[in-house]
Structure 1
Amino acid sequence: FRLFDEGTADNNLKRRQNRSSRRLKSRRKNRINAIKYLLLNNNIISNVNFDILDNVYELRVKGLTQKLTNLELANVLVNLAKRRGSSLDVAVDEDDNESVVAASALTKNTAELKKNNLYICQAQLAKIKSGVKLRNHDNIYKSDDYEKELRQILSNQDLSNELNDKIVEIIMRRRNFSEGPGSYEFPTKYGSYRVDYVDGIKTIKHVNLIEEMRGKCSIFKNEPRIAKCSFEACLFNLLNDLNNLTINGNGKITKEQKLQIINDYVIPKGKIIIPQLVKYLGVEEKDVTGFRKNKSEKNIITTFDTYSKMIIFLPKDILNVTAYVDSIIELLTKTAVVEERIEEIKKLNLGLNDDVINQLANMTKVNGYHSLSKKAMDIIIPEMIETDKNQMQIIHDNNLDKNDCQEKGPKIKFDSSAILSPVTKRVHMQAIQVVNELRKEYGEFDSIVIETTRAKNSSDEKKDIQEDQKRLEEQKRKSDELLIDLDKNPDNYNTLTKLKLRLYKEQEGKTIYAGLPIDLDLLLNDPTAYQIEHIIPYAVSFDNSMNNKSLASAKENQDKGKRTPWQYFSSGMVSECEGPINDWESFEAFVNSLKISKNKK
C-alpha cells in the first residue's frame, strides 16, 4: 500500500495567494525599474537612486497644470507606477464578497470623480487633508482614470509624444489573468506562450490556458468536453434525471411527456421545477422516487441557469437556435475577461447589438466542462428521449464504456496529459508503479481492484468533530434541563446517569429493543434497572462512542448478550419481551423514526 499527505483546499488557496503576491510584487518592481531607466536614458534623471520626496500627492496635483522639475516628475511617475488602479475587466461573481465590495467602491469613486470633475490625485489629496487613510477599498479607482491623470500631467512637461506614449505604456501595461505567466520574449510551459518545434525549428506558439486545461471526453478520448453550462449539456442532465424517476412504484416518464416538458417549460422558461413537474405528471411528489438529493436531502432536478438568464435579453431568433446559444456559452466558458468575451462574440457575426453583447460578456458563473463531449451527447440524448434508460445504461448497452487498451511496451504508463489534482496525480503514478511491479513478479492478472481510503481530509474531520462536540453539549444541556424540570439538582447525578438521560431523550423515552416506556423515576433511582449497552458488541467493534450506545432494560441487555441487533432478532429470544418491537422489521422502523445521526442508524 501507499500513504500520501493530503492536499487540502486551504493549502492550495494559501499557495495560490502567495504565488499571486510574489508576481504582483515582481511586476510592480519591473514597472518601477523600467520607468527609472527610461527616464535615465532620456537624461531626465542622472541616477536611478534619486531622492524620494514626501509630498507626491501635492506634486501630482501641481503637475495637472504646471511643469514639474525633473526630480518631481520622476517621483510622480514612480508613484503612479506603484499603484495604477483596477481594471476589474472580468465579470464579478456575486458570491465573492471581496470582489463585490471592490466593485461597489470602484463604482462609487468613479461617479464621485465624474460628478465633481476631479482627477484622482485631487480626490486623494482631499482625503489626506481630512485625515482619511488611503490604504483600503475606499481608495480604489479605475485604471482609465489613472491614465487620464497621467496623460494630463505629461501634457505639461514638454516631453516628446513618443516618450509620453512609452511612459503610459509602461505604467498602464497589464496582463490579463487568462494569459498566465511568461510572455512572447520569455515563454514558459505554464503560460500562454510556449516553445514549440516545427520541423526542428524553434517557434513560439500561443495557447488558451483554459482550453489547455479542458479535459477530454470520458467516451471519445480525443474529443474535448462540452461546456457544462451549455444548453445541450443541461438537456443531457435533465433527461438523465427524468429517466431515473419512477412514478407510483413502476411508472416511467414517456417520450411524449419528455418532449412536452422540453417544449413547454425548458425552451420558453429555462427550467422546470419539481412542483411543476409533479403537477404536470398528475401525481404528488411523494409518489415519485429517484430524484437526486442536495446536501440537505432535498429533491433536486437539473435547471438551465445560464440559458434562463439569456432568455431575458437575447433575441428570439438566436434563442430558437440552440447551436447559436451554445456557441456563445462556449466562448464565455473559455474566458472571464470581459474585453476578450466581447471580441470573440462579435466574431460570431450573430447580429447582436452592443448592449446585448455587453450583457453577455458580463455574465457570471459560466465556467467548467462536462465529463462528456458533444459527440457523445449527440449519440446518447436521442436514445434518452426515446427510452427510459439513463446515461450509464445507454453507454453500457452501446459498448461505449470500453476502456482503451495500451498495447505498446511491457509497462503501464502514466498519462501525463490527464487533468488531475497534484494528490490524484500522485495516487495514479504510485498505483501504476505498484501494479507494474506486481505484474513483473506474478505475471498478468485477470482483473485488478485498487482500493483507496474514503477518509475525509483534516478540515472536514475538524468540522465534524466541532459539530459532534456542539451536539453533545446540546444533549448535556437538555439532560440538565430535564433534571431541573423534575425538580432535581443536576449536580447530584453522576456522568453515567446523565448519559442514560441523553439516550432516554434520543430514544424518545423507550427501550431500544422492546420499545417499552422507560420509567424515569426508576432510571434515576435504580442504577441496575436500565443499562447502557453497545449496539455492535465492543469485543467486535472496539467502538465506545455515542454512535454505538443505546439504552435497554436489564432483561433486554441480558437477552441480547454479545450479539448484533440482527443476530438478536434472529435468535428467538425476542418473543420473551412484551413490547411493540418483536421482530427485525419493527425494530428497523423504530430506529428510522428516531431523530438521530445517520451513522448511528
Structure 2
Amino acid sequence: MADRISLGLDIGVASVGFSVLNIDQGKVVELGARLFNAKVAEGNQDRRSMRGSRRLLNRKKQRRQDTAKLFEEFGLISNYDKDNFSEFFDNNENPYELRVKGLTEKLTKNELAESLYQIVKRRGISYDLKDADFEDGGTDYSSSLSLNNKALEDKTPAEIQLQRLNEFGAVRGKVVVGDDLDNQKVLLNVFPTKEYKKEAQRIIATQREFYPDILTDEFEKQYCSILTRKRDYFVGPGNEKSRTDYGIYKTEGRTLDNLFEELIGHDKVYPDELRASAASYTAQLFNVLNDLNNLRILSYEDEKLTQADKETIINELKSNVTTVNMMNLIKKVSGCEKDDIKGYRTNDKDKPEISSMAIYRKTHKEFLKADVDITQ
C-alpha cells in the first residue's frame, strides 16, 4: 500500500510556498517556494485599482441619477431621461452664485434644481476636517484644511467657494495665493459632506416658502439620504441584483449580515467558537498571559513566573494608562535582573516584544476623560 502524502501550500500575493510530507514515515519529501514575476503582481494591483475606480464612478453616477429622478418625482423637473438626465443641468450657469443666492433669495425651479444637483455632484469628504490625516499631505495640506475649518465657522462651502472664485479666479484644485514664497497660502477645495448637507438644508428651508408643495419634509429627507449615503465597508461590492463573492451578496444566493462573518476563523481549541478580535479584552489578556507563560526567569527555581506574579502584572497594566516597559515591570514584580528574563519574542530591531494590553490602556485613558473608570 502506498504511503500517504500531504501537500501544504502557503499562497501569497507574490509567491507560493509548498511542502510535501510523507505522513506514514514522518518525512519531508520536498519543500520550496516559487516567486511570481513582479510584473504580474503589478498587473494585479493595476486591475484592483481600475476595479475600484469603476465602482466609485458607478456610484457617483447612480447618486446623480437618483437625484434627478427624485426631482422629477416631486415636480422640480420634468421629462427625466435615465440616459441623458445630466443634460438638464448643463446650462452653463455659475453654480456657486446660484447656491449663495438660494440661501436668501428666490430661485427659479431650474436654478433650484441646478443648485441642489451640484451639491450632490461635489459632495465633499465623509470625515471632519479636524479628523484629516495632516501628516500624509504635508504642511500645505494641513494649513489649507485649517483655513477651511476656520472659514466654515460663519460661511457655507458655496460662500467660501464663490469668494475665492471672485478673488483668485479659481476654486477647484490647488490655488496658491501670494508671490512671496515665504508667505504664500495654499487653498484647497476640501469640505466635509456634513457642511454641504447643512448648506442644502438652508437652501431648501429658504426656497420652501416659494415651493411648499415640492420641498416637503419627505423631499428633504430623501435628498439628504442620497447626498450623504455611503456604502459600509463591511458590506463590500455587489447588491441583490448583481451578486459577487467579494461582498455580502454571494453568487449562490446567500446574503450575509457582515462581510467578515466568513473571514473570521474558528478557534483551534474550541472549534465551535469564533476567534476573538485582537482588540477585544479577552484576546489582549490571552496574549499577555501567553507571553508571560513563555518567559523563563533564571533566578527562579522552576524558572516560571508564579500565579501571583502574573496577577500583579495584569493589575498593573489595567490600572496604568501611560506607556509601559514590560521588561521593567517584570523585573520589578519578580525582583530579578533583566538578564535573568529569557524566552520573550523580539521585534525587527531585536528588542524584547511582550504584549502589554496597549489598546485596553488607550481605551481606559479615553474613558477616564469622561469620568468613567472601566476597571471598577
TM-score when normalising by structure 2: 0.68
Change (3 A) 1:174 1:62: same
1:121 equivalent among 158, 181, 185: 158
Aligned counterparts of 2:230 and 2:195: Cα–Cα separation in 1 = 15
Which residue of structure 2 lines up, in the alignment, with residue 87 of structure 1?
126
Aligned residue number for residue 349 of structure 2: 296
Aligned 8 A contact 1:102 1:140 in 2: no
1:269 paired with 2:320, answer yes
What is the DSSP-based 3-state SS (H/G/I as helix, E as strand, rest coil) of the residue aligned with 2:272? coil
Q: Could you tell me how far 1:195 is from its partner in structure 2? A: 7.6
**How far apart in 2 are the matches of 1:72 and 1:253?**
75
Alignment-derived partner of residue 256 in structure 1: 308
Residue from 5, 14, 21 that aligns with 2:53: 21
- Counterpart CA distance in 2 for 1:95 and 1:222 is 44
Counterpart selection for 1:66 from 102, 105, 130: 105
Answer with 1 or 2: which has the greater Rg: 1
Q: Work out whether residues 31 and 171 of structure 1, in 8 Å CA contact, stay in contact via their aligned partners in 2.
A: yes
Tell me, in whole angstroms, the C-alpha distance in 2 between the residues paired with 1:154 and 1:65: 11
1:44 to 77, 89, 104: 77
Cα contact 2:76–2:113 (8 A) shared by 1: no
Q: 1:14/1:286 Cα in 2 relative to 1: closer, same or farther (>3 Å)?
A: farther
| AA of the residue aligned to 1:258 | K
Query: Which residues in structure 2 correspond to 1:149-548 (within 5 Å)?
Result: 149-155=199-205, 156=207, 158=211, 159-161=214-216, 162-183=218-239, 188-193=244-249, 205-248=255-298, 251-263=303-315, 265-269=316-320, 271=324, 273-314=326-367, 319-320=374-375
The 3 A distance-change label for structure 1 pair 160 and 278 is closer
Amino acid at match of 2:375: N
Q: Deviations over 1:473-507 (max 9, x none)?
A: xxxxxxxxxxxxxxxxxxxxxxxxxxxxxxxxxxx
Query: Against the structure 1 CA distance between its residues 65 and 275, is the aligned structure 2 distance closer, same or farther, given a 3 Å change threshold?
Result: same
2 CA distance for matches of 1:140 and 1:119? 12
Shift of 1:295: 0.4
Paired residue secondary structure (2:115): helix
Alpha-carbon contact 2:248-2:258 (below 8 Å) kept:
yes
- 1:218 aligned partner, one-letter code: K
Distance 2:223 2:353 in 1: 56
Give 1:93 deviation, angstroms.
Answer: 9.2
Matched residue, 2:23: none
C-alpha separation in 1, matches of 2:229 and 2:243: 18
Residue in 2 that maps onto 1:134: 172
The 2-side partners of 1:16 and 1:187 are apart by 18
CA contact (8 A) 2:235 2:248 kept: yes
Aligned amino acid, residue 79 of structure 1? Q
Pairwise CA distance, 1:188: 4.5
* AA aligned opposite 1:267: K
CA–CA separation in structure 1 for the residues paired with 2:221 and 2:282: 48
Return the alpha-carbon distance in structure 2 between the equivalents of residues 99 and 215 of structure 1: 39
Letter in 2 for 1:122: E
CA distance in 1, matches of 2:364, 2:352: 25
1:55 aligns with 2:89: no
Equivalent pair of 2:204/2:215 in contact (CA under 8 Å)? no
* Residues 324-370 of structure 1 deviation map (CA, whole Å, 9 limit, x = unaligned): xxxxxxxxxxxxxxxxxxxxxxxxxxxxxxxxxxxxxxxxxxxxxxx
Amino acid at match of 1:171: L
**Contact 2:312–2:333 at 8 Å: present in 1 too?**
no
Deviations 1:59-106 (A, max 9, x none): 1111222222343333323321211122228x9696983699989866
Question: What is the CA deviation profile of residues 144-167 of structure 1, one whole-angstrom value per residue up to 9, with x for unaligned ones?
Answer: 221121122233151341444433
Give the Cα separation in 2 of the matches to 1:43 and 1:260: 69
Q: Residue 288 of structure 1: CA displacement?
A: 2.5
Structure 1 207/105 Cα, relative in aligned 2: closer, same or farther at 3 Å? farther
Following TM superposition, by how much is the alpha carbon of 1:15 offset from its aligned partner in structure 2, in angstroms?
Answer: 4.7
Distance of 2:138 and 2:277 partners within structure 1: 25
**RMSD of the TM alignment (CA)?**
3.8
Is the CA contact (8 Å cut-off) linking 1:193 and 1:207 kept in structure 2?
no
* Separation (CA, whole Å) in 1 of partners of 2:256 and 2:350: 46
In the alignment, the residues of structure 1 paired with residue 303 and residue 132 of structure 2 have an alpha-carbon distance, to the nearest angstrom, of: 42
Q: How many residues align?
A: 311
Question: C-alpha displacement at 1:127, in angstroms?
Answer: 1.5
Is the contact between residue 364 and residue 373 of structure 2 (CA under 8 Å) also seen in structure 1? no
Q: Flag the 1:141–1:94 CA change in 2: closer, same or farther, 3 A.
A: closer
Structure 2 counterpart of 1:97, which letter?
Answer: D
Amino acid at match of 1:266: L
Partners of 1:15 and 1:106 lie apart in 2 by 32
More helix by share: 1
**Unaligned stretches of 5+ residues in structure 2:** 1-17, 19-32, 175-186
Note if contact 2:281-2:360 (Cα within 8 Å) is conserved in structure 1: yes
Q: Is the 8 A contact 1:63 1:153 kept in 2?
A: yes
**CA distance in 2 between partners of 1:145 and 1:92 (Å):** 14
- Aligned-pair CA distance for 1:126: 1.0
Render the CA deviation track for 1:268-326: whole Å, top value 9, x for unaligned. 226552123224333332333222111011122111111111222436986337xxxxx
When residues 24 and 228 of structure 1 are mapped into structure 2, their CA distance, relative to the original with a 3 A threshold, is same
Q: Distance in 1 between matches of 2:269 and 2:361?
A: 29
Do 2:76 and 2:109's aligned partners in 1 also have CA atoms closer than 8 Å? no
Q: Does the 8 Å CA contact 1:128/1:134 hold for their aligned counterparts?
A: no
CA, structure 1 residues 39+229, in 2 after alignment: closer, same or farther (shift >3 Å)?
A: closer
Q: How many Å apart are 1:33 and its aligned residue?
A: 2.1
- Distance in 2 of aligned mates of 1:62 and 1:255: 72
Higher strand share: 2
**Which structure is richer in relative contact order (CA contacts within 8 A, separation 6 or more)?**
1
CA distance in 2, matches of 1:285, 1:95: 40
Q: Is the 8 A contact 1:189 1:195 kept in 2?
A: yes
Contact preservation (8 Å) 1:147, 1:168: yes
SS in 2 for 1:253: coil
